[in-house]
Structures are given as C-alpha cells and as structure tokens.
Structure 1
Amino acid sequence: MPRILGGIAALLVGVGLVGSGTAVAVDDPAASGAPAVGSCFAVTAGEAADAWLDQAPVDCAAPHTAQVVATGMLPPPLTWDHPQEQLLDVMSEQCWLALFRKVGRNPLLLLRSQYSVIFFGPDPGQQAAGARWFSCHAVVAEDDRLGELPNPLPRLSNRLPDSVAACLTRKAAHTTCADAHAWRSSYVFFARGRTTQRNIRLMADQICPGRVTTPRWSFTWVDVPGPAYVMACYSQTRR
C-alpha cells in the first residue's frame, strides 16, 4: 500500500519544501492554466497516472472523484526536464501536506480512511510557455477505481462516512466502505518493536480481539519512521 506508507511517512517526518500556497500573480506565465483550488474533476484510475489532466472541471455537487486541494510551483532550480523521480518527490510531498491541511493530520485516523492524493502538471504546450505549476487533488482509493467523493470533504475522525472510510475486500484489498467489502476498520494503534511476522502476529492477537465487534477479525500494518509501526484491526461485515 504505497499511498499509506507515503502519506504517514510524510506526516510523521514533517516534510516540507516550498509551501504549496506560494502566491503568484494572476498573469504570471508560470501559473497559466492551473486549475482553481476547490474545483472538482471526474478522474478515472487510468487518468490518475497521467502527467497532465486533459478535461474540464465538473460541478462539485455532481459526481466527481477528485478535488483540487492546492496548487504548487516547482522550486528552482527544478524544471520539467529534470528526472521524473525528483519531480514526483516534490509534488508528492507537497500534495500530501496539502491534504493534511484540508482533512487533518492524525496518522491513526489517516489509516482509517481511504484518502490519497494524485497530482498533475501542465501539458506540453503550457510547459513550453513557461508554466511551472502542479495541482494537488484529493481522492479516495477503491480496489480497482477511484471512488466518488463527498462534498464537502469530511475531516478525519473515527466516524467517517462510508464513501471515505477504510474497509477490506474478501481478497484483503483496501477499498472504501461504500464499495463491496468483507472487513471494516474498527481500531488503529501505534505498536513498538521489530516488525517480524511473529511480533506482528503476537501484537494483533493481544490487541485486536478486544477492539473488534465480531468473533472473526483481520488486521493490517504499515511501517513508519522510527522503532514503531501502525496496526489496524478490522471487524467482519456481511456486505
């Protein structure tokens, strides 16, 4: 689950390069073509992997799968000709921080949600004209697609709506609870110790039975910086 690892890691280490709220003049060619913060789009899972977004925004009251939470600018000396890995690192870190500002930054509650981020840059024509912006979009990840977002975006809490809350499918794939699922997140906690299979299983057996609502239960875990990891306990559902 790279999106969870990236999100929690970004939150805990407090990354920050250039603030994604960098002010630019309206007629600045570096900002030309950037979508408005708060605008919504009907992005598919396939389009989410594209370098730029070739579609018009939709009304946020209509079905949509992505909402712009910030626009950022490539910090000098980076240009669009730099290695893709460097560009993706900058955009990913700034976009996760923008999502945290929008919905909250509690790492445990983040793991109980399916929130993620995607980001787009200018198209080739806009780049040639000097555009340096990138847009950060909040999304919720389902097992094989992007889910529809509620409007407005709910902040992180223990009572997230199904459209945002984290569940598992019968095949243990992460999805929203609005999608078909077999397990629902009931409890998330920090665990300390080495992340060996034995230690993780012992920790799950110690904590999860008292925190779930069904005799059968499941668990997941992710590494985070430092001598700790995050574990989630899931109750079985019939949906």
Structure 2
Amino acid sequence: MAVRHLRILTVALLSGSLLSLAACGEDPPTPKPEAAVMGPAVIQAEPTTPTQSPRAGAPTTGACYRLSAADLAASTNSSSPVTCTDPHNAMTMRVALFPTDLQVTEPEYAQRVCARHLASTTGLSRSSVQGTVFAAHWFGPDAEQRAAGARWFRCDLVARTEQGTKRLPRSSAPLFNGTAPDEYVRCVQMRNGSTSDAVYVTCDRPHRYRWAGGFEAAGTRYPGADDLRTTVTQRCRRFVGSGPFWYVHPTKAAWRAGDRTVSCFRSVG
C-alpha cells in the first residue's frame, strides 16, 4: 500500500513542477502562421499601353480575291483570299505603309505607289500597261486596325472594263511575258457607227480602233484643247502611222490632278 501511495505522490509532484514552470518562466514565442494559411500574395498589375503596330491586320502580298462591285467601292476589305488557281478578279501586288509625315491625301499617295507595281505584276512594260484594262486599286485598314496603330495600305491588281471587272489569269505574278492577250487590251468601238458615241471595249470584241501607244504630255499648266490637239497629232503619228486614228487626252480637271497621259489608237478598218 505504501508503494502505491508513493507513486501517486510522485505524479502529483511532477504535475506541480510543470505548472510552476509555465507560471514562472518566460512567455513562449508566438507560433508563426503556416504559409498555407496566408495564401499566395496578390500583386496589382500596373496599367500598360497597348502595343501599336503599323502592320496590325495587314494582308499578304500575292493573295487573290473574288471581289464584288460593293467590295471595290469600299475603302477597306476583309474578304477571305481564295486560291489563285481558282477564279478571281483581284490580286494583291504590294502592301506598303503610309508615311508618318504624309504630305498629300491618302488616296493620292496610295494610288501613286500602287500604280508603280502594275508593270512588274503583269509582266508588261510601263507603256504597254497603259494600253490594257489593268488598273491598281487600293484598300486601307479598318477602324479597329487603325486604332491598333495600323497605317498600311493594300495594292490590288484588277482588270476594269465598262462592264465591271474581268477575271485575272490563274497564275502568280508576273502574269505575262511582255504581251497581254486581246481580252485585256483596250480598244475603241463606235456605237451606231457614230464617232460621237465611242466606248472602250477589250480587243477580243468587235472594235474600230486599237491601242497603239501613248505618252506623258509635258507642262505644268493645262495647254488648252487646241494646243493639246496639235501636240497629240504630232506625237501619235509615230504609233499609228499615216492613217486615221483616235486619241484620248486628260481633261483640264484631270490635268490639274496630275494626269498627263495621252493614248493613241490606230484604225483597224
């Protein structure tokens, strides 16, 4: 019995010692919270300015399209390209940028640049292109692309006639090797046999006059119809010979806009 009492007393003394240490010793350190309780740190992102790109949404050179009259009347175009071996009436000749310090209107600048690529794209000389129905047509970026910094423009080759646009050959540029087929060459036909009712047609259709050559008239001021007629008669003879011929020269308004092109058509009988 004594032994049993002693064991109980010993436990009691030990318990008292623990209580005494807890009461008289220094405060235990505050436990650190676990990382899992804190969770990941949240850092607020600083506002950034969207990246501006002059080629935002720019199309691809060499792409081909089937464009409607409404498409060609619009200032921008988002039509999906088609395979150039499939029927198409437009081909992108070049994608260029408007200068940041543009000194003229966008249409004037784009048309001037696009026209320079007609010869290399068609495979014709610059003078020969003048006698065809090939023309340069341009599109610019849409509002969303401009907001993203876009200042590109797209130069398309089209074959434009009085009836609309013709299909282009199913091949890549250059389309020809120096000579265009009659379906793309410009001719003149007299409706009802009247010289006052002349229309442009392609030379694969009945016609009275066929394009023979052309030139750029000189001078900054419009010379007047009479003086221009004299110049045209003299210079067209080298292309049309001694027979009758037809010519087209710029109007006064076109001259002021920078057009100096004169086209000479020889008679085909």
TM-score, reference length from structure 2: 0.59
What is the alpha-carbon distance in structure 2 between the residues aligned to residue 189 and residue 196 of structure 1?
17
Label 1:30 to 1:205 Cα distance change in 2 as closer, same or farther (>3 A): closer
Label 1:93 to 1:230 Cα distance change in 2 as closer, same or farther (>3 A): closer
Selected match of 1:93 from 96, 112, 120: 112
Greater relative CO (CA pairs within 8 A, separation 6+): 1
Structure label with greater radius of gyration = 2
Q: How do 1:101-180 and structure 2 match up within 5 A?
A: 101-103=120-122, 106-150=125-169, 151-152=171-172, 153-154=174-175, 157=178, 159-170=179-190, 171-178=197-204
Give, as a single letter, the amino acid of the residue that structure 1 aligns with 2:150: A
Give the equivalent residue in structure 2 for 1:57: 81
Q: C-alpha offsets along residues 157-176 of structure 1, whole Å, 9 cap, x if unaligned?
A: 4x321232122243433343
The answer to whether the Cα contact below 8 Å between 1:140 and 1:176 also exists between their aligned partners in 2 is: no
117-126 vs 188-197, greater mean Cα deviation: 188-197
Q: C-alpha offsets along residues 93-140 of structure 1, whole Å, 9 cap, x if unaligned?
A: 221223344346855323222221111112222222332221111112
Query: Which residues of structure 1 form unaligned runs of 5+?
Result: 1-26
Give, as a single letter, the amino acid of the residue that structure 2 aligns with 1:176: T
The answer to whether the Cα contact below 8 Å between 1:52 and 1:121 also exists between their aligned partners in 2 is: yes
Aligned-pair distance for 1:87?
1.6
The answer to whether the Cα contact below 8 Å between 2:124 and 2:176 also exists between their aligned partners in 1 is: no
Query: Which residues of structure 2 form unaligned runs of 5+?
Result: 1-50, 191-196
Does residue 233 in structure 1 map to residue 259 in structure 2?
Answer: no
Selected match of 1:218 from 209, 222, 246: 246
Give the equivalent residue in structure 1 for 2:211: 185
Give the equivalent residue in structure 2 for 1:39: 63
The answer to whether the Cα contact below 8 Å between 1:177 and 1:184 also exists between their aligned partners in 2 is: yes
The answer to whether the Cα contact below 8 Å between 2:52 and 2:149 also exists between their aligned partners in 1 is: no
| Partner SS for 1:68 | strand
| Partner SS for 2:249 | strand
The answer to whether the Cα contact below 8 Å between 1:182 and 1:237 also exists between their aligned partners in 2 is: yes
What percent of counterpart residues are identical? 25
Give the equivalent residue in structure 1 for 2:95: 71
Aligned-pair distance for 1:56?
0.9
Aligned-pair distance for 1:50?
0.9
Label 1:236 to 1:58 Cα distance change in 2 as closer, same or farther (>3 A): farther
29-38 vs 47-56, greater mean Cα deviation: 29-38
Aligned residues: 203
TM-score, reference length from structure 1: 0.65
| Partner SS for 1:30 | coil
Q: C-alpha offsets along residues 178-223 of structure 1, whole Å, 9 cap, x if unaligned?
A: 4664432134356779854444545666676785599654222348
RMSD: 3.8
| Partner SS for 2:183 | coil
The answer to whether the Cα contact below 8 Å between 2:128 and 2:213 also exists between their aligned partners in 1 is: no
